[in-house]
Structures are given as C-alpha cells and as structure tokens.
Structure 1
Amino acid sequence: MPEGFVYRDGVISSDEEQHFTRHFALLPFAPFEFHGFQGRRRVVSFGWRYDYAGRQIRPSAELPEFLLPLRERAAEVTGLAAEGLQQVLVTEYAAGAPIGWHRDKPEFQDVVAISFLAPCLLRFRRRLRDGWDRRSLEVMPRSAYVLRGAARSEWEHSIPPLCTLRYSVTFRNLRG
C-alpha cells in the first residue's frame, strides 16, 4: 500500500455501527455536486465544507453530538487531537454509487475515514513515466483508514460502485 496509508480493522463494534447508522438515516443528505455534475452519492458536511464553485472551504453546520465519540475514535487512529479534526463529511453510497479518482482538496491535511455496513474496494493509483502504479485493498465495515504523507499527496484514490448501501464518515484536519 502507499506510504502513509494506515488501515485498522474493528475500530467500532457492531452495536456502535447500528447506533451510528440509525442517526445517519436522519441526517439532511444532499446529492454530491461537483462543477454542475451531480454524483450518485449523497453527503452532509459539518465544521467545514468544500465549495467547488468558489474553490474554497466555507463554514458548515456544527458537528452533531452523536458524532463526537466517533471523532474521538478517529483521533485515536490518527494520533491527532480530536478537536483538530474540524471537517467531517458523512457520505451515503446507495447501491451503484461510486466515487471517482481524486485527491482530497489541499486545504485539508490528514484524512481518516470510518466505514459502515458494507465492504468496498479502495483503489489507489499514481502516474509513473510509463503508466500507472496501482494498489487496492478491501475496506471492511467498522474499519478505518488514514491517508497522510505520500498516500495523501501523491496517490489518487477511488471506490467502484457497490452492490448495497454503505456509509462512510471522513474526518479531516485543516492544513496550516
């Protein structure tokens, strides 16, 4: 896997997963929008959100209390202070919803994501002089992964379409 990538299985229990997903069902999700394109996944941001039209981060809704223990868990995985994880993105992937190749925006630094309900294939790629270097890993429900260093800055990542509902909660700290 890319340097700077960390994967941890069993970061939350099955009971915790059920608790969080009951709360997710009540969130005000909206389709992901990117320069006029509407993705098949739905998202809701807390703390900060990235405004693709303005190409900058903007303040967003305050982090709901039910997500505070999950932020603590994300902080444990990264070794960062929980309060430093100021941007939170909850993503709902309905069956058939992918996320294309991308790097997270440069305004953010480290990325930690916690996965819920269904496994997914997390793919990585980076351009070489004569093609692509590719890696992949099956990310299991209740696990977490961290992108920092080269995994964050030199590699793109994507998730192909899934067959069933999946949620992820992504925590980011701000660069600077």
Structure 2
Amino acid sequence: MTAATDQFDLFSAPGTGLPEGLRHAEGVIAADEAERLVEAFASLPFQAFDFHGFKGNRRIVSYGGRYDFSASRLEAAEPIPDFLLPARAAAAAFARLEPEAIHHAMVTEYAPGAGIGWHRDRPEFDRVIGLSFVSPATMRFRRRRAAGWERASLPLAPRSAYLLDGPARQDWQHSITPGEALRYSVTFRTLR
C-alpha cells in the first residue's frame, strides 16, 4: 500500500525554497487503493464548506471532529469510517506516527474551479497530513517578511502525500489553487 518510509522526500533542507517541516512524497497510496477510495467518495454525504455563513466552492465531510467556525470550537463527529482506515495507516506511516494518533479526517471534493484560500489550520490541530486523488493540484505557501511575502509552491500529484509540521505548520499559510478537473483530498490531523 505504501512506499518505504525512508524513501519519502524531505523538503526542509536549506536551499529548497520550501518551508522547513514540510514533507512530500508521490505514490504513497497504491493505484488500486486510490481507485477504491475514489469510488467510496462518490457516495459520501458532502456538504458545502461553511465559514461563518459563507459557503465555499468545495464540499467536505468530516470524521472524528468537525470544526464549527461560528462557535470557534471543535465538535464531535462520526468516527473515522472503516473504508478510510487503510488511508489513515498510509498517512500515519508517511508521517512516522501510529495510526491511532490521527483523530480527525476530512474528505474534500473540489469541483473544477474550486480551491482553498490562504489559511493556517485551526490551533486545536497539530500535524496535518494530506493525500491527493484523481487530478493534480498546486499547494502554495507564504509567510510575511519585513520586505513582503516569502512564497513557495508544491505540485501535488494524485496519490501523493504531504505533511505540515513545525514551521511549515505554524509559520506559513497555505492554499490550494483552483484546478481544472474534479479532485479529492483526504486531510488527516492530529490533535494538540
């Protein structure tokens, strides 16, 4: 299902231009497992992403917890379902965690033209592990400097994974550019 953990690329070395604490690898999910997951995604009860009454142009379903932006708190949600447990295990192996350390999963459906604006994940969460499916995307990063914004970008291929930890998680904002085709992602998070 996954590649050997020691084969994952680490993008925190000086001179890469990418944030320290960002890890990325392609082929983390096997092709047959990705196909099985995408089939399962089609039957999920997606809801439009809601940010203080603003409906985003992507749809989500959360497990293990759901962040209520209106109340500014993490609320209970259905447990991570069995069909996502192999993906959670792959994400955990990539992040060098035990699967049980991951308490939150969010499946996101991006219609053509949908993306995510600049943000940091809520402070209740710690490490953020993302898996990409169906079509590629570009993840952008920025952090404020005295002379303006320092920026970087990372292409996300289908079946790839990224980990946001340390400065990549705390100091940088990230976004996903709008894509031209349907895309899914699964974001796994540990809790603080």
Matched position secondary structure for 2:179: coil
Does 1:158 find its partner at 2:175? Answer: yes
Runs (4 or more) in structure 1 with deviation over 4 Å come to: none
2:110 aligned to 79, 93, 96, which one? 93
Match of 2:74 in 1: 57
Q: Tell me by how many angstroms 1:43 deviates.
A: 0.1
1-structure distance, mates of 2:43, 2:161:
23
Match of 1:121 in 2: 138
Q: Alpha carbon RMSD of aligned pairs, Å?
A: 0.6
Q: How many residues are aligned here?
A: 175
How far does the alpha carbon of each residue in 1:104-158 deviate from its partner, in whole angstroms, 9 at most, with x for none?
0000000000000011011000000110000001110000000000000000000
Q: Which runs of 5+ in 2 are unaligned?
A: 1-17
Does 1:7 find its partner at 2:20? Answer: no
Q: Which runs of 5+ in 1 are unaligned?
A: none
Q: Tell me by how many angstroms 1:14 deviates.
A: 1.6
Matched position secondary structure for 2:121: coil
Match of 2:15 in 1: none
2-structure distance, mates of 1:85, 1:100:
24
Q: Tell me by how many angstroms 1:3 deviates.
A: 0.2
Matched position secondary structure for 1:88: strand
Percent identity of the aligned residues? 52
1:76 aligned to 93, 101, 104, which one? 93
Match of 2:153 in 1: 136
- TM-score when scaled to structure 1? 0.98
Counterpart of 2:58 in structure 1: which amino acid? R
Counterpart of 1:95 in structure 2: which amino acid? P
2:166 aligned to 136, 149, 152, which one? 149
Counterpart of 1:75 in structure 2: which amino acid? A
Match of 1:40 in 2: 57
- TM-score when scaled to structure 2? 0.90
